[in-house]
Structure 1
Amino acid sequence: MGCYNIHVKGLVQGVGFRPFVYRTARDLQLTGTVYNATDGVYISVSGTKQQAEELATRLLKEKPSVAEIEDIDIIENKEDAYLGLEGFYIVKSLSREQSVTRISPDIAICEDCIKDADRQPHRLHYPFINCTHCGPRFSIIQGLPYDRPNTTMSEFRMCEVCAKEYKHENDRRFHAQPVACNHCGPKYTLYDIAGNITATEYDNIISLLVKGLSKGNIIALKGIGGYSIICDALHKKAIVKLRKLKNRPRKPFIVMIGDDSILEKFVWVNKEEQSLLKSWRRPIVLLSEKKKLTTEINGTYSTLGVMLPYMLIHYDLLSKLPSRAIVVTSGNLYGEPIVKDNDKAFSDFIGKCDFILDHNRKIFNRSDDSVTHVIDGMPRIIRRARGYTPEPLENINETEGILATGAEQIGAFAIGKGKEIILSQYLGDQKRIANRDFRDEAFSHFQQLFKFSPRCIAADMHPDYASTQWAENMASQMNIPIIKIQHHHAHAVSVMVEYRLKNPVLSVCLDGTGYGDDGCVWGGEIMKCDRISYERLSHFSYLPLPGGDAAIREPWRMVVSMLHIPGEKGTCYPEKFVRRIGRDRIAFMENMIDHNVNCPLSSGAGRLFDAVSSLLGICDMNSYSSEAAISLEQVADANCNASYHIDNTESGFDFRWLIKRLCEDYEKGISEKMLASMFHNTLTKVLNINILRISQKENISTVVLSGGVFQNKILCDLLLKKIKNCNIKVYLPSSVPCNDAGIPVGQLAIASAVNNTNFNKLCTNYLLP
């Protein structure tokens, strides 16, 4: 007999792990204790070494579904060979210096809790029902260890019935920190359009909301990570009204569907998409449309963003609403962060929403719904927030104390703890003051939760990014070093981190904007890189951006840029294009290009997609980010194999020949659908030719794909298949967004590698000051 201390690291708090350890230890007839600490779960048992190892084995094999075990250490405690206990106990949590454990993301309501809401007298129709397997986690946690006093549930004192469940070893709510019921937990209050209290009793609230939704009402509803705004998905006038409220003329809305038959009627769902939809994360999943719900939701798009209910109130509303489907969008005004506080909700939504449904549980960490899709049989994150944040990524080097401030348009930051990279939730466009305030709030919370203090900062090279200026100001105030990271190198390394790649790779980075070493705008590159250096091997030909950022907002300008040769007269454009844009406006752009007035150079792949989209009459003006490129993909037919022939002079990255051919065929009357498909197929062929050529030349057979353009499902499916057929290993991000939200991961990993390298002996792109 002896005493053994077992330290379990990973996602082991807020997921029912201690109760699971308790029951397993009791089953093995072990005596001892289990407790949470800031750096994991600690177990002490009396018994033989074989018994301790059997406990560890069962913890690994039988752990709760949401739990993730990274490491289990078993150490014999010879100083305390006998604990002197007669049973096994869960004891008070401890805080251990600066070490921290993983924090659970918010978890969708489980099936057992849905059933309990119909059968437990004290939780009958209780909307905030949860157990050790489900419910709010990241959104309510204020500090570690994960115990009720360290959450926003600390304001709610458990009643005797809940306390009994909390303490009973065989109850599903044994040590469930947010446990509550109708008698002791948070409650909803319904307000009308003028801010007057309309109802406080839950069943009455549901009845009023269902009637309101059916009549076309718009409702601001406080959820787990913030407010959402909802309306009936089949009520066209309500959706039009919602578009005006959100200043969202064309961008598609997301639909929450509460009935499998409705889901099967309107979208195609394969087994991987079904698994993602129904996972405990409950993200939005972009699916191929089978039949259109209504054009007011997604216009002419061939995909529909779908999510399933993740709170009891969603289930209750959808089960009673005749359409069984609601439009769900972030609860915010245009360009601002999702609203989490009641006062802000009232100031923003009173007089605009027909009802405001508020609850009195505070949201500490706000987060939007996550957005995903499936490519090549794997989930790919587009927006990383609820259900994913703050899951860390394992890095090969020490990361402690490194802060990465990210990019600009898709804001996010990352912090380093131990050898982990912890990526923040989606923060929105950092050009906006409100989103920078959100960033400061989130960073302050991360510092508090993870006991983080910066000792080094990694930032984008772009001098005008708000994220770079944030980094510079903080580095100056704290007198700590700052390292500037090239945008596309960070993109590439973010993929290397996810797949734990150590050797040099070829990086294909396709996006819209990234500050380049030559001062130009990059965005279509093939680079050779590792975690501390990069070499640009090939890139899309530079094109002028007439009007700078205006060319990004108005894609038609890129048609002029692609077709007009400086100094030449009589450039030919499709007649339809000329009629839409006007000869005077086209001539004005030509004059800007001829005289190089406000025409910065760009190799951005996004601008090529913009030009084709406008050329074909699909989108001339972006009403939201990347609308032209997304719309081009929506028009294309993924089943069309037609493409243009490519000769030796056209195999490089100057695509003006392709634009001219598209222009000629568009004039001949070939359909936009066919031409959009041929563009995707031809571009993929060109990319593959160059990847294969450079791979052979550099003797590198590992390729990573990154950048926002790789959110294009058609492009990815085609390119992945072609590259794999050439016996090249190819990696596309899955748990890290391929867009700029993944940039902080790469920035932090690069800074970590530089910090861990004797760079005085190594030629590298980066040197710390």
Structure 2
Amino acid sequence: MREGANGRRIRVRGQVQGVGFRPFVWQLARRLGIEGTVSNDAEGVLILARGAEVAAFEAALAAEAPPLARVDAVEGAPAEVTGAGFDIIASGGPGAETRVTPDAATCADCVAEVQGAGRRAGYAFTNCTNCGPRFTILTGLPYDRAQTTMAPFEMCAACRAEYEDPADRRFHAQPVACPDCGPRVWLERDGVELPGAWLGQAVEALTRGEILAVKGLGGFHLCCDATRSEAVALLRSRKRRPGKPLALMADAAVLARHVAPTEADWALLRDAAAPIVLIAGRGGLPEVVAPGQERLGWMLPYTPLHHLLCAAMDRPLVMTSGNLSGAPQVIGNGEARDKLSGFADAFLMHDRDIARRLDDSVERADPPMVLRRARGRVPGTLPLPKGFAPRQVVAYGGQMKAAICLVKNGQALLGHHLGELDEALTWEAFVQADRDYARLFDHAPEAVAVDLHPDFRATRHGRNRAEAQALPLIEVQHHHAHLAACMGENLWPRQGGKVAGIVLDGLGLGSDGTVWGGELLLGDYDGFERRGWLAPVRLVGGDLAQKEPWRNAVMQLDAAGLGDLADRLFADQPLGMLRMAAARGLNAPLSSSAGRLFDAVAAVLGICPGGQSYEGEAAMRLETLAAGAEDADAYPFGTADGALSPVPMWQALTRDLAAGTEAGVIARRFHAGLAQVFAGAARGLVESGQAGAVALSGGCFQNALLLRLTTTALEGLPVLTHRTTPANDGGLAFGQALVALARLESD
């Protein structure tokens, strides 16, 4: 300690604002007899402390932090500390160096109040420092009530007393409110508010089989009774969503009556993020909830409004995004009346504005993976691996499952799921999110990273920004970005050496101008070599090849010399035109896509050959079919000069079809064969010393069976997988940002 210094100046960095960190520090200081002050500022939490137990005090800041806090660093230095007692002082000036807290599900204490008899009994906006809205109501930094959508609601004397008491769990809980001073809920029909109690009215409507538009935390849901097949079918018809699985919400007791979650499932369901969790078992619910799927997406109620509704209904509810399929979720009351009136019979409204739309996150506990990163996870940040300089970069991801990534101060903020950018309203949401993140986090990039594909809207957007601001534009090959994202999530060091990347997805522009999608790469953040690939076939019809699996099946069978089987299976399709286009190369690029190979196998087995009602439907149904079968011998694949040929697989599959082998066994053998041929090639790179580990990335690895079979085939090797970032294109921007940082440092 320098001469004259009698205390410590302590900086706490991380997710430490809006989580009750200052009252925690105040209580800790009182317990240990520490004098000084604590405040929020642009860099996190700043503490001045002195006392005999100051060392223990400093150590406890991370060890005993509040439930929602994420402490990245505690930095202490000698300092002169004056004054008596320990005080919480006002926040410092504006700035965006600290982390913003994601929205958090209602805590047990607040649920008890809502279900109890006190002044917040039945109140739909009960919250405290351990729960409630954060990012969805935030309009600026630092995180204070005046910079949230709670600003119009002036606190009553009782709420103000809680807010100002450091010993109260509502101390500086910015959304604190009660029925006397906070937002309110009502039910309306045809734009007219109905008199009376909203909860009873909502229950009556749902019990009659009606569809409700329910305003939640990050947007509206469309809700109906999940046990009534006619209500679910009506919702599907109105929303034009014929087959895509619908999310379900129920309280823990009701959920347990329908399915049997594992301990890992329960842990994820009860996480503060409250994601949709994929759980095995249909639980007696109608097939129309999730046609052809064995796993259903469940979530627990995560706001008091949801808790009240679920408890009153005492049965599972469909709770799906309030939008037309493909369009962004609706967030405003007027917007809901305008856009959802054709879907909903009534509207469950409230008057607290939503600052930004956030879909529900979708996750799986085993094997663990985030499939859609959104509410509850964003804007949580990811640490960068060792060796990266703390520079600022923005990356714009791809065309599908769009998400933006900002890098600043050694952290990556991977933004929320936005959707497919060919949808006009999603594009508007993308542009708005770009402005929103840049403003909210005071971000000034040194470079812009984009996908190699020149026609992706995200790529054009990034190019325009780079030109307008005279910034370097860094183009990143699609599958290299996938590889880098997986390496980065696993904190593979900047100088950690090369990794063998098995990257399996739908499509991405390759560096040779063809369409890639079934790749074995050897690379690091700086670059890559293509060491293996699925033997390419023609994708005839452009986007139609992704929507109509029969097209891929015909091209695969023709390439395997099995055109006669294609003629029999797809006799009702325009085979002559398809083959003519393929022969002439008309809108028929060569592709090594693993996703389209899945579609082809599904089509041969009769799974939606003529068309998919949503992206990935054929592959998801094929996985469900395979998962229900016993382990079976893997189909063989050929290997020659880097090309991994499915011709032997098709020949064996054809023999199984002729022998009457069960479709589930065929599907299982295909999964096993694909896993083994790629795992074998990757193993060779590791065992020869060319790679230090194997990374598994790309949307096909959302397939839990394929992921398990591949990791089993790689047993004994270091394997990197996605857990907290999506393996699909939702994680692409993170990988692009890491590649961009590496190139900036290499220049």
Residue 159 of structure 2 aligns with which residue? 162
Name the aligned partner's letter for residue 448 of structure 2. Answer: I
Instruction: Give 3-state SS (helix, strand or coil) of 1:154's partner.
Output: coil
Residue 319 of structure 1 aligns with which residue? 311
Shift of 1:151: 1.2
Among candidates 405, 411, 430, match of residue 414 of structure 1: 405
1:476-519 C-alpha deviation (Å, 9 max, x unpaired): 11121111001111101111111110221111100011110111
Residue 264 of structure 1 aligns with which residue? 256
Instruction: Give 3-state SS (helix, strand or coil) of 2:436's partner.
Output: helix
Counterparts in 2 of 1:99 and 1:359: CA distance versus 1, 3 Å: closer
Counterparts in 2 of 1:351 and 1:751: CA distance versus 1, 3 Å: closer
Instruction: Give 3-state SS (helix, strand or coil) of 1:155's partner.
Output: coil
Among candidates 103, 107, 110, match of residue 107 of structure 2: 110
Shift of 1:341: 1.1
Within 2, Cα distance between the matches of 1:615 and 1:698? 40
- % of aligned pairs identical? 36
Structural mapping, 1:312-711, within 5 Å: 312-322=304-314, 324-376=315-367, 379-395=368-384, 396=386, 397-502=388-493, 503=496, 504-565=498-559, 571-573=563-565, 577-578=569-570, 581-582=571-572, 585-620=574-609, 621-637=611-627, 640-644=630-634, 646=636, 653-711=644-702
1:375-409 C-alpha deviation (Å, 9 max, x unpaired): 34xx3100000010011111142353311011011
Shift of 1:210: 0.6
Within 2, Cα distance between the matches of 1:748 and 1:649? 34
Within 1, Cα distance between the matches of 2:310 and 2:416? 28
8 Å Cα contact 1:492-1:706 kept in structure 2: yes
Structural mapping, 1:136-151, within 5 Å: 136-151=133-148
TM-score for both structures, normalised by structure 1: 0.93
Shift of 1:565: 4.1
1:94 aligns with 2:84: no
Residue 39 of structure 2 aligns with which residue? 35
8 Å Cα contact 1:142-1:445 kept in structure 2: no
Quick check: 666-675 or 109-118, which moved more? 666-675
Within 2, Cα distance between the matches of 1:99 and 1:214? 47
Instruction: Give 3-state SS (helix, strand or coil) of 1:353's partner.
Output: coil
Within 1, Cα distance between the matches of 2:649 and 2:689? 28
Within 1, Cα distance between the matches of 2:443 and 2:265? 36
Within 2, Cα distance between the matches of 1:285 and 1:451? 33
Instruction: Give 3-state SS (helix, strand or coil) of 2:403's partner.
Output: coil
Shift of 1:205: 0.6
8 Å Cα contact 1:268-1:290 kept in structure 2: no
8 Å Cα contact 2:110-2:128 kept in structure 1: yes
Quick check: 100-109 or 660-669, which moved more? 660-669
Quick check: 648-657 or 351-360, which moved more? 648-657
Within 1, Cα distance between the matches of 2:179 and 2:452? 53
Within 2, Cα distance between the matches of 1:632 and 1:165? 55
Counterparts in 2 of 1:576 and 1:259: CA distance versus 1, 3 Å: farther
Structural mapping, 1:239-258, within 5 Å: 239-258=232-251
Within 1, Cα distance between the matches of 2:550 and 2:284? 29
Instruction: Give 3-state SS (helix, strand or coil) of 1:43's partner.
Output: strand
Instruction: Give 3-state SS (helix, strand or coil) of 1:458's partner.
Output: strand
Residue 208 of structure 2 aligns with which residue? 215
Residue 171 of structure 1 aligns with which residue? 168
Shift of 1:273: 1.3
1:179-226 C-alpha deviation (Å, 9 max, x unpaired): 11001111112111x111114x6xx11101111101101011111111
Counterparts in 2 of 1:653 and 1:265: CA distance versus 1, 3 Å: farther
Residue 19 of structure 2 aligns with which residue? 15
1:128 aligns with 2:125: yes
Shift of 1:734: 0.7
Shift of 1:625: 0.7
8 Å Cα contact 1:403-1:457 kept in structure 2: yes
Shift of 1:644: 4.0
Shift of 1:117: 1.9
1:300 aligns with 2:292: yes
Instruction: Give 3-state SS (helix, strand or coil) of 2:181's partner.
Output: coil
Counterparts in 2 of 1:305 and 1:17: CA distance versus 1, 3 Å: same
Residue 180 of structure 2 aligns with which residue? 183
Quick check: 106-115 or 649-658, which moved more? 649-658
Within 2, Cα distance between the matches of 1:215 and 1:647? 55
8 Å Cα contact 2:280-2:294 kept in structure 1: yes
8 Å Cα contact 2:559-2:647 kept in structure 1: no
Within 2, Cα distance between the matches of 1:446 and 1:645? 47
Shift of 1:124: 1.9
Within 1, Cα distance between the matches of 2:229 and 2:492? 49
Residue 2 of structure 1 aligns with which residue? 6
Shift of 1:669: 2.1
1:227-262 C-alpha deviation (Å, 9 max, x unpaired): 1110000111111111012110111111112243x4
Quick check: 557-566 or 543-552, which moved more? 557-566
Residue 765 of structure 1 aligns with which residue? none
Name the aligned partner's letter for residue 595 of structure 1. Answer: R
Counterparts in 2 of 1:648 and 1:99: CA distance versus 1, 3 Å: closer
1:404-443 C-alpha deviation (Å, 9 max, x unpaired): 0110111111111111111110011011221111112112
Within 2, Cα distance between the matches of 1:667 and 1:284? 41
8 Å Cα contact 1:256-1:326 kept in structure 2: yes
Shift of 1:530: 0.9
Within 2, Cα distance between the matches of 1:299 and 1:745? 33
Name the aligned partner's letter for residue 661 of structure 1. Answer: A
Name the aligned partner's letter for residue 279 of structure 1. Answer: D
Shift of 1:136: 0.2
Shift of 1:698: 4.6
8 Å Cα contact 1:122-1:183 kept in structure 2: no
Shift of 1:653: 1.2
Name the aligned partner's letter for residue 631 of structure 2. Answer: N
TM-align CA RMSD: 1.9
8 Å Cα contact 1:652-1:690 kept in structure 2: no
Name the aligned partner's letter for residue 587 of structure 2. Answer: N
TM-score for both structures, normalised by structure 2: 0.95
Shift of 1:164: 0.5
Instruction: Give 3-state SS (helix, strand or coil) of 2:688's partner.
Output: helix
Residue 196 of structure 1 aligns with which residue? 192
8 Å Cα contact 2:628-2:664 kept in structure 1: no
Quick check: 106-115 or 291-300, which moved more? 291-300
Shift of 1:647: 7.9
Query: Structure 1: where are the runs of 5+ without partners?
Result: 760-769
Shift of 1:29: 1.5
Quick check: 393-402 or 219-228, which moved more? 393-402
8 Å Cα contact 1:574-1:666 kept in structure 2: no
Name the aligned partner's letter for residue 163 of structure 1. Answer: R
Within 2, Cα distance between the matches of 1:538 and 1:487? 16
Residue 153 of structure 1 aligns with which residue? 150
Query: Structure 2: where are the runs of 5+ without partners?
Result: none
1:286 aligns with 2:286: no
Name the aligned partner's letter for residue 684 of structure 2. Answer: R
Aligned pair count reads 736
Shift of 1:576: 6.3
Instruction: Give 3-state SS (helix, strand or coil) of 2:122's partner.
Output: coil
Instruction: Give 3-state SS (helix, strand or coil) of 2:448's partner.
Output: strand
Name the aligned partner's letter for residue 165 of structure 2. Answer: H
